[in-house]
């Protein structure tokens, strides 16, 4: 059809899973949703709504990088996690998705590409395409626990690569970037001129201690431009309030030039609402309470999932270290889609690994967010189908 950009011509055909799920929901069939990703729907602590009712909520004094005291609140939040950063090196946006769009505008000409991990969350293809940018996937080898292999990154790169994206920890794999991986990646970026974009929205949700785990690249002295992204959606479990942040780091001259250019981009959109910026210190003060409750839940649900696996089962729970998801390795036959359809018949909604670009086997992805009693109710049907 003429008159439309090819950038917005995304496939709209429903796959068999989507069709089957729609039919079940249309019939009102009871389902346990193990794809739930919205923390506001699963009974976790929420902040006092009066935080959004400040006398200054209707004032408007736009600052492209974000209100100063809001950026100071983010800097303090990062400082409480061991990252010493300046508010001057932070920029607020409406979401990490918007941050990505701004960074692709900053770093790429149309037709350039960015290197993205696989498996990973299926968002980058859409965000890049809308900016006229291409993706070049690099594999996260299963033999490394789906951790970063710098040789895979180097092999994916070509002359038009402008940045490498890492998701720390991986979504849904739960693998954190380790110090050795970051050092090898920094060397590659410095040698080839790549910027590093680190998606750290789940970095506060580690399940256990890892001595060489990289919590954030913010505040580190690295030889390349670095951008670390996070926001209220995951940090405080508030996706509806629409506020994200980006810390810009790297060699001072390049960092300052990036900030100056991003200020122009941000000033063009001025997307972050005043009320959420006014409330940000209080919302971030709420984050530890939310995070403690969420971590207790996901760890308990994961414990129950591991305990439910029968001895000698043909499926297993893939090791991970953080985040909100669990990955199951299942037999290649009957495979992901057939297993998901069988689980739908049993009243469970799960995601196939191919949604996240898993290869080298068959996988399922489960959310660990549902209340424990709901998650527990799903384990019997899950094991019966997987064992059947």
Q: What is the pLDDT of residues 188-220, one digit of tens each?
A: 999 999 999 999 999 999 999 888 999 999 999
Mean of the pLDDT values across residues 241-246?
97
Note whether residue 159 is domain-resident: yes
Distances (CA, A) of 148 to 117, 118, 176: 8, 10, 9
14 and 128 within one domain: no
Note whether residue 111 is domain-resident: yes
266-313: pLDDT as tens digits: 999 999 999 999 999 999 999 999 999 999 999 999 999 999 999 999
Domain termination residue (choose one: 264, 286, 308)? 286
215 and 339 within one domain: no
260 and 241 within one domain: yes
Specify the pLDDT at position 1. Answer: 54
211 and 96 within one domain: yes
138 and 253 within one domain: yes
Specify the pLDDT at position 54. Answer: 81
Note whether residue 19 is domain-resident: yes
282 and 190 within one domain: yes
Model-level pTM? 0.96
Domain termination residue (choose one: 286, 321, 353)? 286
326-385: pLDDT as tens digits: 999 999 999 999 999 999 999 999 999 999 999 999 999 999 999 999 999 999 999 999
What CATH number should be reported for the domain holding residue 66?
3.40.640.10
Catalogue the E-assigned strands of the chain.
32-33, 90-93, 113-118, 134-139, 161-167, 195-199, 226-231, 244-249, 316-317, 325-330, 348-349, 351-352, 362-367
15 and 161 within one domain: no
3-state secondary structure of 277: helix
Instruction: Report the percentage of the chain scoring pLDDT > 70.
Output: 99
Looking at the structure of the chain, the number of domains it has is: 2
127 and 106 within one domain: yes
Note whether residue 14 is domain-resident: yes
Range of the domain at 336: 10-44+287-387
The band of 56, judged by pLDDT with boundaries at 50, 70 and 90, is confident
Note whether residue 49 is domain-resident: no
State the DSSP code for 6.
G
306 and 245 within one domain: no
158 and 143 within one domain: yes
Using the structure block, give the residue that is written with the tokens 């696989």. Answer: 118
């Amino acid at each position: 059809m003429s008159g439309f950009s090819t950038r917005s011509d995304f496939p709209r055909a429903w796959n068999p899973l989507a069709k089957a799920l729609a039919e079940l929901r249309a019939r009102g069939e009871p389902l346990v949703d193990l794809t739930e990703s919205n923390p506001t729907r699963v009974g976790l602590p929420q902040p006092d709504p009066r935080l959004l009712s400040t006398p200054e909520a209707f004032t408007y004094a736009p600052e492209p990088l974000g209100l100063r005291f809001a950026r100071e609140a983010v800097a303090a939040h990062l400082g409480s996690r061991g990252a010493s950063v300046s508010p001057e090196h932070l920029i607020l946006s409406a979401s990490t998705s918007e941050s990505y769009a701004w960074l692709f505008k900053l770093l790429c000409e149309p037709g350039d590409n960015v290197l993205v991990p696989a498996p990973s969350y299926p968002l980058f293809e859409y965000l890049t395409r809308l900016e006229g940018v291409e993706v070049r996937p690099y594999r996260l080898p299963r033999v490394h626990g789906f951790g970063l292999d710098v040789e895979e990154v180097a092999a994916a790169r070509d002359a038009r690569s402008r940045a490498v994206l890492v998701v720390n920890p991986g979504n849904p794999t739960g693998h954190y970037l380790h110090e050795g991986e970051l050092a090898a990646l920094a060397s590659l970026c410095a040698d080839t001129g790549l910027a590093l974009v680190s998606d750290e929205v789940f970095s506060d949700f580690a399940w256990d201690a890892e001595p060489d785990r990289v919590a954030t690249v913010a505040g580190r002295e690295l030889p390349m431009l670095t951008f670390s992204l996070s926001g209220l959606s995951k940090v405080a479990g508030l996706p509806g309030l629409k506020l994200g942040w980006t810390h810009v780091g790297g060699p001072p001259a390049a960092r300052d030039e990036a900030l100056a250019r991003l200020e122009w981009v941000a000033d063009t959109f001025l997307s972050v609402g005043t009320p959420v910026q006014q409330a940000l210190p209080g919302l971030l003060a709420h984050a530890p309470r939310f995070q403690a409750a969420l971590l207790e839940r996901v760890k308990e649900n994961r414990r129950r999932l591991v305990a439910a696996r029968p001895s000698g089962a043909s499926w297993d729970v893939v090791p991970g270290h953080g985040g909100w998801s669990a990955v199951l390795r299942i037999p290649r036959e009957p495979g992901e889609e057939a297993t998901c359809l069988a689980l739908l018949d049993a009243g469970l909604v799960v995601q196939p690994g191919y949604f996240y670009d898993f290869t080298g086997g068959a996988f399922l992805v489960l959310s660990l967010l549902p209340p424990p009693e709901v998650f527990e109710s799903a384990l019997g049907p899950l094991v019966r189908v997987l064992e059947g």
